[in-house]
Every structure is written in structure tokens, then in C-alpha cells.
Chain A
Amino acid sequence: MSKPIDRRDFLKLAGLGGVVFASGLPGVTLGAGQDDFYFVQLSDAHWGFEGPPNPDAKGTLKKAVAAVNSLERQPDFIMFTGDLTHTTDNPVERRKRLSEFKEIVKDLKVKTVRYMPGEHDASLDNGKAFQEFFGATHYTFDHKGVHFIVLDNVSDPRASIGDEQLGWLAADLKQQKNDAPIVVFTHRPLFDLYPQWDWATKDGAKAVDMLMPYKNVTVFYGHIHQEHHHMTGHIAHHAAKGLMFPLPEAGKAPTRAPLPWDPAQPYKGLGFREVDADTKAADNKITEFPVVKA
């Protein structure tokens, strides 16, 4: 049996994009002697971005890697939910950014790292460059009894999943029992969070409808660079913070431009915050969300 999470690690975890314990997922029941496990969701690294919203644009991703590496008990795997790179119109530069990103995250101690694209990586070439570096843009995998589905709603520049992929999703779901624990990763939200800012997926409702008959589904996504929690029926949707710049809350600013950097609170709103485990105050920073609705 691996070591349980100690308090120090737990506090560090509070600073990461998204930390998901299997025991917190609906439908997961751990048998006697069976370990809980956790994975980390990292999102929106926007490698290649430069500008005042992040004066440490070249250092932030590396700090996130170091923050994960400093955990005594390592996660089972890490999932990057898209926008690994910041968009560029130049296909050569796009590949350069993807390759630099890949090089940096190679330093993660966790060897199982999975990727999916965001619209910044994939929308200008239908995911071609992304696939050269990271393979498929939609796929499934199973881990310790949980079924994971990675959905691509960014390779189509119109922010759609598309009928072909929806057909693939239907076929995959058919193989699952209706009480199987299922986790879905997407980049954009599958529900209409705020279409005025492109915080939606055109045919996302079709995917949600397909997932509805399954009792234990949880969706994790990125794109909006902030935490957000929403229910569609019994399905919870959770957004993770980004690693480059935070965005305003939906509709709370005239545009979806990045929030300004605050020199008094550097890295505020980013999902890799290092939490000092020795201070009492750090306890207050832990926010937990029940994945299962009581």
C-alpha cells in the first residue's frame, strides 16, 4: 500500500489546478485493502504567451512542474486539459511551442501524463501539430475501475465536437454499465456557461444528453482559467484554474481579457500556487468540492 497523503502534501495540493481523489468521485467504492488514488488536472499553460498579465511567463509552467514534483505522494497521473500553448498564426512557431512545452513537462516525476488540446493548440490546423507531438485528441482509458473519456471540442474551429466523434462517444458509452464511474475531460465547457465569450460547445448538449443515462459522471474542463462548478442534472462540471493568466468571471468585465498581474499577490488565480504548509493560515486556503451531490 502506498503512503496516505499527509497534511503537508494536502496543503500543497490545494494550490494545484484540480486535484481529484477517486474516493470523491461518484460511483467509486473502494474495496477493503484498496487504496484511494488521486490525479492532478493542470490546464491552460499557454506556453509562448508574453505580456503584462504574467511577467513570469517563462517561469510559471516550470514552477507548476516543481510544485507537483514536491509532493511526497505522487498522483497516479496528470491530465493537461488543453491550451498547452498560446496560439500563433505561424505553423513553425506552433511546433516550436509544443516542443518546448513537451520538454518542460518531461521533468515531471509522474510518468503517466496525458494531454488534450485547447483551441489555442488546435483550432488553426484542426489539431495537426498537436497530434504530431501528443497523439490523438480524443480517446479513452481506464484506471483502477474508473472509465475516463477525453473529448475534443477544439480541433473544429467552430467549437463543435462533431457528429463523428459523438458517434464514437455513443459507441464507447454503450460498453459501460449505467452505474460505472465515468470521468470526462474536455477543454471547453460542455454546457452554455457564457457563449458571449465562447464559453460553450456548440453541440455540447448532445454529449451531455448521451451521458445523462449514466449515474456516475463527472466532467473536468479548462478554458475559462478559473474555478467554476456547475450541475447539469446529476452531472457535475468542474473548471480548473490556468497556469498563465486568470480570466474574469463570466460577464463581470467588458471583455474576456486576462486579469491584470497583481505585484502584491503574484501568481494569484493561477493553479499551481505554492502553499506554505507550515503556516496556520494555509488551512483556510483549502477549498473542497464534493463531487457527489449529497
Chain B
Amino acid sequence: MIFGKKTLRIVAAATVVTIGSLGAYVAAQSAEPKEKVIKITAKKFNYIPGEVKLKKGVPVILEFRSQDVLMGFNLPDFNVRADIVPGKATRLRLTPDKTGTFVFLCDIFCGTGHEEMNGKLTVVD
């Protein structure tokens, strides 16, 4: 691309993605959960399980443990993120308020496979 004041001027169709959460309720580390607890292990360079299925409107607790280094969990479409510190459980309470398939990813650079460290959340009615 050339930036100048010369001739041809073409404006690219910019892909603008707005993320926002419409009322997804999150509370980290809630004490005595009555909700279903979904355990997710984070290790270089994936989440186990890598696919999580939830029901819209039904609150759950996601419980993370890292097997090696400091990892992140980020679910941008619901504005939810947490640090996953090795040696302790990290809990996130999530009530999905929309259906679809959403990407979650490690958002703390953790090594050579960091860019492949992601998973899928599917929310159904």
C-alpha cells in the first residue's frame, strides 16, 4: 500500500467487529456454587476439553486449572476473562445470554503454540 496524495484512491471495506456482552453475569471465585461445575484444564498449548456446550440462560461455573505455566482464559463475546494461575483453581460464573458458537483463547502469551491455544463454546437454547 502506498500512502500519498497522488491518484487512485480506494477505501478498503474494513471489518469492524464489535464485541459486547448483553448482560452476561460473571463473578470470579464464587464460594459455594450450586451451579454445575465444568472443569477445564489448561496446559501448553490447549484447553481440555477444547469444546464446551452450554444452555442459554443456565448459569454454570467454569473451573480452570493450569498444569504448567500462567495462562489466560478469554471469551471476548461475553466480556469474560481470567488468569489461570498454576497450583490453584480459578472459577468463573457464566450465564450465557445468547446462542451460537464463540471462540475462547489464551490471552497471556505462553510459548510457541500460544496462537493455537483456543477453544469453542457452543450455546444452545
**A158-B107, A256-B115 as given contacts; A290 in contact with B2, CB under 8 Å:** no
Q: Is B27 an interface residue (CB 8 A)?
A: no
Partner of B18, one of A88, A192, A227: A192
Q: Residues of B within 8 Å of A, CB-based: how many?
A: 35
Q: B-facing mask of A33-61, CB < 8 A → 1, else 0?
A: 00000100000000000000000000000
Interface of chain A, helix or strand or loop or mixed?
loop
- Complex CA–CA separation, A249 to B13 (angstroms): 11
Contacting residues, chain A, for B35 (C-beta < 8 A): none
With both chains docked as a complex, state the minimum distance between the C-beta of A29 and any C-beta of chain B, in angstroms: 12
Contacting residues, chain A, for B5 (C-beta < 8 A): 21, 23-24, 290, 292
Interface of chain B, helix or strand or loop or mixed?
loop
- Complex CA–CA separation, A206 to B119 (angstroms): 29
Q: A-facing mask of B14-28, CB < 8 A → 1, else 0?
A: 111111000000000
- Complex CA–CA separation, A158 to B114 (angstroms): 12
Interface residues of chain B, those whose CB is within 8 Å of chain A, are: 1-12, 14-19, 72, 74, 76-77, 102-103, 105, 107-112, 114-116, 118
Interface residues of chain A, those whose CB is within 8 Å of chain B, are: 10, 13-14, 18-21, 23-25, 38, 87-89, 119, 123-124, 157-159, 192-198, 227-231, 238, 240-241, 249-251, 255-257, 286-292
Known contacts A87-B111, A193-B15, A250-B17; 12 additional CB pairs below 8 A are A21-B3, A24-B4, A157-B108, A194-B15, A195-B74, A196-B19, A196-B76, A198-B107, A230-B14, A255-B116, A288-B3, A292-B5
